[in-house]
Amino acid sequence: MTRTISKSEELPASYNTGLRFIALLLIVIALGATVFYMQSVLSMPEVQLGLNGEISFVLAFLHNAGIVLPLLVLGLSVGLAITAIQIIRGSGEAVRWASVIVFWLTVGALIMGVFLLFEQSAGNETLNVDYDFGRGMRAGGPLLLLAVLVGFASWWLSRHADLVNRNQTLTSRNTRMAWNLLIPTITILIIVAARPLEKTFIESLTDKRFGSADPVNFVGLSNYTQLLGFRFDTVSCRLADDGTCTLDANGSPRWELIDRELLREGFRSVAYIQIGGNQALVLSGTDSDFLTGIGNTLYFTFFSVTLELALGLFIAMVVNSDFAGRGFMRAVMLIPWAIPTVISARLWELMLRDNQSGIINKVLIDLHIIPQSQAWLSNANLQVNALIMVDVWKTTPFMALLLLAGLQLIPSDLYEAASVDGANRWVQFRSITLPLLRPVIGIALIFRTLDALRVFDVFNVLLGRQKLSMATYNYEVLIQNQQGGYASAVSVIIFVLIAIFTFLYVRSVRIEAQ
């Protein structure tokens, strides 16, 4: 008969004093950290100006405190308080989690205390500040004292580990072990990733000018409203004298402008979708260049990644087969990927010239695929397609390399058994290769989609401002227009789009489950 062990079990009464000390220590740390942090933030000169109404308090608080750190302090304080309450109630699971908490509190307090001790003690010749160990002790001493207290608590729990860890489940132990391994990684991610993203988001809420000392004002979400403001309307075509729609140079109907009131509000036409003989659905936005950049980027991403997946899978399967010169073939196929993008873009610029001096036009005309030379980089209808061609040539080897690694992990016995059962190559590919390769395909798609969504170099080198991607538009806004706050909002939107695509890929191919 199996005994079910509750996560909340009473520990021996003789240890109540020690557990209450640890619970009290956690509550004091939770309250002290919150009060000390808020007091230090509110005492900052810029925040004081905000409290006095001289500048925006929200902007002053965000610039000095940020978003991640206040949420982290608040979350840790609440977590410590909850753990302490559960310890007082006699929860053995809470005590086990407390052993993890006090260990990392000891490490963190010790590192920060030593850092502040040396950083504040050091002198500065430029500012005429002498070395002062007392100043360093005043800054780092409280943290070093905290490290001693929580270190003692960690030592006490380790001495009574046999009682603290009694009756614990394997799942509970593995969960705490996982968090012990994850905490350093999460800390590093907060420092090197979360903080820069936070700074970018905060700047996107301002009208900051890049490289300017002008005062910065808090504008809220107005940058995002300007970037993402769009609407759909219906318009009619421009009629000729005979009552038919007039056509432009490309043979497409000419459409009327959107309502004058919308034009005064800043809306500009982005794209037309014909819904009838004389009418079209028009997409207009307050920042038509950015919406066009989103469309160009998504079009480029979809077709380039799709073609690279198809060609990469074909190349990987060919290279994975047994034939003479297979090793040489694997080395040669990586050459396009090894060439820097700027150099390959310049090479393709020569090959895509709009006369027969461009080798692409020469080959296609000789093969009777096109009747005359095409202006690949000047014709608006061909520009993005030309970039897709360049990108597919360069990054298909990377896709093939990832898929080849996945193919080599599939046991050959499966194919031999399928052949014995009478399955042909197509059935083997559909029933064995694709299902087993799905996680690798998912990883490859994530890598390539992330890279394609932030495409910059090939657009910037070959097209400049003729057609913009999201990244090149961000560059134009930041460098050319000097709009730091607006460019930060563009960066945040690009990040959100990339995160959405990553989430959809992970969910669709079920990487976590496999």
Which domains, ranges and CATH numbers included, belong to the chain? 13-204 (no CATH), 230-286 (no CATH), 289-509 (1.10.3720.10)
Q: What are the beta bridge partners of residue 268? A: 285
Long-range own/partner contacts, residues 503-512 (CB < 8 A, 24 or more apart) = 505/442, 505/445, 505/446, 505/449, 506/442, 506/446, 508/442, 509/438, 509/439, 509/441, 509/442, 509/445, 510/438, 511/439, 511/442, 511/443
Sheet of strand 268-274, all strands in order from the earlier edge strand to the far edge: 230-236, 279-285, 268-274
Query: What per-residue confidence (pLDDT) applies to 125?
Result: 65
Query: What per-residue confidence (pLDDT) applies to 15?
Result: 62
Query: What per-residue confidence (pLDDT) applies to 474?
Result: 92
What are phi and psi for residue 253, nearest 5 degrees?
Answer: -65, 150
Query: What per-residue confidence (pLDDT) applies to 302?
Result: 93
DSSP class of residue 98 equals H
The answer to pTM > 0.85 is no
Single-letter amino acid, residue 196: P
- Asked if 293 contacts 276 with a C-beta cutoff of 8 angstroms, the reply is no
Average pLDDT per consecutive 10 residues, the chain (514 residues; last block may be shorter)? 40 68 90 87 81 78 83 90 87 86 91 87 71 82 89 86 74 87 88 85 87 80 90 85 76 81 86 82 90 92 93 88 74 84 88 80 84 83 90 91 88 84 83 86 88 90 88 90 90 90 75 51
Measure the CA–CA gap between 118 and 284, rounded to whole angstroms: 58
- Asked if 407 contacts 460 with a C-beta cutoff of 8 angstroms, the reply is no
CA atoms within 13 A on the CB side of 33: 23
Query: What per-residue confidence (pLDDT) applies to 499?
Result: 87
Rounded to the nearest 10 degrees, the angle between the axes of helix 133-159 and helix 16-42 is 150
- Asked if 400 contacts 447 with a C-beta cutoff of 8 angstroms, the reply is no
Query: What per-residue confidence (pLDDT) applies to 7?
Result: 41
Query: What per-residue confidence (pLDDT) applies to 332?
Result: 79
Measure the CA–CA gap between 328 and 334, rounded to whole angstroms: 10
Query: What per-residue confidence (pLDDT) applies to 127?
Result: 64
Q: Which residue has the tokens 């100006």?
A: 49
Query: What per-residue confidence (pLDDT) applies to 21?
Result: 87
Pairing assessment for the beta strands 268-274 and 230-236 based on DSSP bridges: unpaired
